[in-house]
Chain A
Amino acid sequence: MPPVLTIARLTVFEAIRRRVVLTVFILTPLVIGLTAWGFSKLTHLSHNDGTPFSPDEARLRIAAFLILIAFMFSVVMAIGASFLAAPALAIDIESGLLLAILPRPIRRAEMVLGKWLGLAIPLVGYAFVAGGIELAVIQAVTGYLPPHPAQAISYIAAQSLVLLTITLLASTRLAPMASGIIVVVLFGAGWIIGIAQTVGATYNNHALANAGTAFSLAFPSDGLWRGAVSALEPAALLAEGVQFDPLAAVSSPTTAYLIWAALWAAGVLSWAIHSFSRRDL
């Protein structure tokens, strides 16, 4: 087995043995169950005068609530990616585990790529399995399915990979806690600046819009989240004029932006390899 796959397999195995996977398997059905109950209540909403919502009105509320759930899911995925990647190399360096592994015929690049792969596969897998089940359950309870469910999950998975990659870069040089904090702050800042960008675009404030664009290029986390939102928004919701909503997206990311995000992740991963290769143990 190539060293990259050996390390990837070891990383997945570690997540299983350290009961990370078990914890997720217990918590996820709980959360899905709770949201399913919440959505079932949304179908019976009525106006203040007691008139029941029309099916279209109810669908709009369900769509908006689904975006909220997706936001929670993206935050969980982002923080999960940071928590998994922050100690990935740093703890192995600090504990001395790598002193026994790296004298073997394995390149530093293979170590970094193996760790990345071993974290990325479960993350993306979880995004599709948990996201898919959540959407299926919501559809079963409410009859509503967003316009582009697979696309939405893909955007959220891609966002978690962006966070995973930059956390792994930090992990080559910083202690796990420092790496985690930096990436969570970046994630939060990206989200706020993304809102500022939306406000800037809506009110024709170029400074805000340009700052938002610049940050979304420098750190393509919120840009991908906006892609997930656009994939979840039904046309009727957009027609209601909810552009000021912090959880709304004006448009989908362009193909150029998606290519840029992929190049950005590849560049940061290369930087992580370079950083780790030059690190003395």
Chain B
Amino acid sequence: MIKGERQTPTFPEERDTPAIRTLDLAKRYGKITALSGLSMSVPRGEVFGFLGPNGAGKTTAVKLLLGLARPTGGEGWVLSAPLGDLQARRRVGYLPELFRYQEWLTAREVLALHCSLARMPRRVWADEITAALRLVGLDARGDSRVSTFSKGMQQRLGLGVALLGSPDLVVLDEPTSALDPVGRVEVREIIHGLKRRGATVFLNSHLLTEVEQVVDRVAVIDRGQVLALSSIADFTADTQTVKVRLTGLATSGSLEAGAFTLRPQMEGWWIARGIAREAVPDLVASLVGMGARVYAVEPGHHTLEERFLYLLKGGEHASGTDYRPADGV
């Protein structure tokens, strides 16, 4: 079944291995290098954001992972099997960026075709198809031909196709590119549902605000190489900034507290920049010593978009970056 909280079954020996692992994976098309030495590891059960500018090699990487293209170098494993393995592909769902389905079939027939190709037992097809149509909001259009669908409806159908059979790994390439805001929220909910049932989601998207809301981990690639790979919390953390909410100090403009300078923000919040994590207790002590009542202290935070742009403009690598895949396939 697609819906619900059923846990994704995995083979015992697979549980500790990454859902995806690549080692120096490379692809050249003639003289053009599309991907050069991609090494990364995607833990099981996580939502993984795969980010990068146009031409970074994201779609090439996805095609290599799914066996649609052959690598010219390196290795890779999907669900513990070498790239292209047929058995592993039974447990993978994929929504391509360029989504096209047989326009002369109905939505129900497209889903039945994929049930057949995914080697699902015939007896579960009807339930799978009904659940998929309902999940992506096409239950009223199941018997309509794809040729009558809008772009957004075709993308919804593609999402339904990708989710058939409760796959262990769902690869979504720009899954909301043709959707309206309501559809985008629904996709976010679907991704949360996939995570709840233990599936791994490999999400390739340019909509960073949306990515930030669903992913556990991100990788940023550019020119075919990984620039950063870390948890979303580490990636967006601003280790040099602290926010403090306080009252009791009558001051206008900046606030000097010992060696630290705080600038006022909205609703009683103040921000201190250029402060190391280990100096935070000293800052709080200074403020309390000055008579302030401190209600909250929070580490600074960048948006995913800020960090992404910073990286691509040649900034430092993200904190907490793990450039190499974990040991073991």
Contacts and interface: CB of A to CB of B under 8 A. Distances in A.
Given A105-B119, A281-B68, A99 B96 contact: yes
Given A6-B113, A6-B116, A17-B104, A102 B67 contact: yes
Interface stretch (B11-19, B85-93, B246-254, B281-289): B85-93
Contacts of B86: 105-107
Highest count of chain B CB atoms <10 Å: which of A6, A103, A278, A281: A103
Contact of B63 (A13, A97, A280): A280
Contact of B117 (A13, A96, A97, A105): A105
A103 B99 contact: no
A105 B87 contact: yes
B69 A280 contact: yes
A104 interface: yes
Interface string A63-99: 0000000000000000000000000000000011101
Contacts of B90: 105
B98 interface: yes
Q: For the side of the interface on A, what is the size category?
A: 20 to 34
A13 B96 CA distance: 24
Interface in B67-115: 67-70, 86-87, 89-90, 92, 94, 96, 98-102, 104-105, 113-114
Given A96-B96, A107-B86, A102 B68 contact: yes
Highest count of chain A CB atoms <10 Å: which of B69, B116, B119: B116
Interface in B230-272: none
A100 B161 contact: yes
A94 B68 CA distance: 14
Highest count of chain A CB atoms <10 Å: which of B29, B118, B171: B118
Contacts of B94: 99-100, 103
Nearest to B157: A100
A40 to B, nearest CB: 40
A107 B113 CA distance: 16
9 interchain residue pairs of minimum CB distance: A280-B69, A17-B104, A104-B117, A96-B98, A99-B96, A103-B66, A96-B100, A281-B68, A105-B86
B118 A105 contact: yes
Interface in A99-123: 99-107
Nearest to B27: A280
B105 A17 contact: yes
Contacts of B117: 3, 6, 101, 104-106
A236 interface: no
B102 A18 contact: no
Interface of A: 1, 3, 6, 10, 13-14, 17-18, 95-97, 99-107, 278, 280-281
Contacts of A105: 86-87, 89-90, 117-119
Nearest to B94: A103
Contact of B68 (A14, A103, A278): A103
Contact of A100 (B67, B96, B104, B116): B96
Contacts of A1: 116
Nearest to B72: A280
Contacts of A95: 100
Contacts of A106: 86, 117
A90 to B, nearest CB: 14
Contacts of B92: 103
19 contacts: A3-B116, A3-B117, A17-B105, A18-B104, A96-B100, A97-B102, A99-B68, A99-B96, A100-B161, A101-B117, A102-B67, A102-B68, A103-B67, A103-B89, A103-B94, A104-B117, A106-B86, A280-B63, A280-B68
A280 B70 contact: yes
B158 interface: yes
Nearest to A108: B67
